[in-house]
Amino acid sequence: DAGITQSPRYKITETGRQVTLMCHQTWSHSYMFWYRQDLGHGLRLIYYSAAADITDKGEVPDGYVVSRSKTENFPLTLESATRSQTSVYFCASNYGGVYNEQFFGPGTRLTVL
């Protein structure tokens, strides 16, 4: 089925561990985005990518690493998880440009103990 998927949907980890959140889209969208959603902050952009092998920082990139070797995949890695990274993470994609809406994945709820 076409769409955007995220895995895992729920993850509990411990402080200091490395965690990778996966995002996969089937629309061949050029742009992909990672957001985190926290109470009182709405959604904040972590990283985004304009195409394969092109990534850039968003508003809150510290503590996160991304890569994009294939157009359809955009994994987000927390290299050494901290409690402040407990959040709901959303992946999104679109064709870029100021006009196009973003299509969001179902989200990953991450808890760092």
Partner 1 sequence: AQKVTQAQTEISVVEKEDVTLDCVYETRDTTYYLFWYKQPPSGELVFLIRRNSFDEQNEISGRYSWNFQKSTSSFNFTITASQVVDSAVYFCALNYNQGGKLIFGQGTELSVKP
Phi, psi of 102, rounded to the nearest 5 degrees: -95, 145
Q: Is 103 in the site for partner 1 (CB under 8 A)?
A: yes
Instruction: Characterize the bridge pairing of strands 108-112 and 10-13.
Output: parallel
Task: Choose between 12 and 79: whose C-beta lies nearer to partner 1.
Answer: 12
Note whether 18 and 112 are within 8 A (CB): no
Q: What residues between 1 and 60 interact with partner 1 by CB under 8 A?
A: 31, 33, 35, 40-45, 48, 50, 56, 58
- Contact residues toward partner 1 (CB under 8 A) are 31, 33, 35, 40-45, 48, 50, 56, 58, 88, 90, 92, 94-104, 106-107
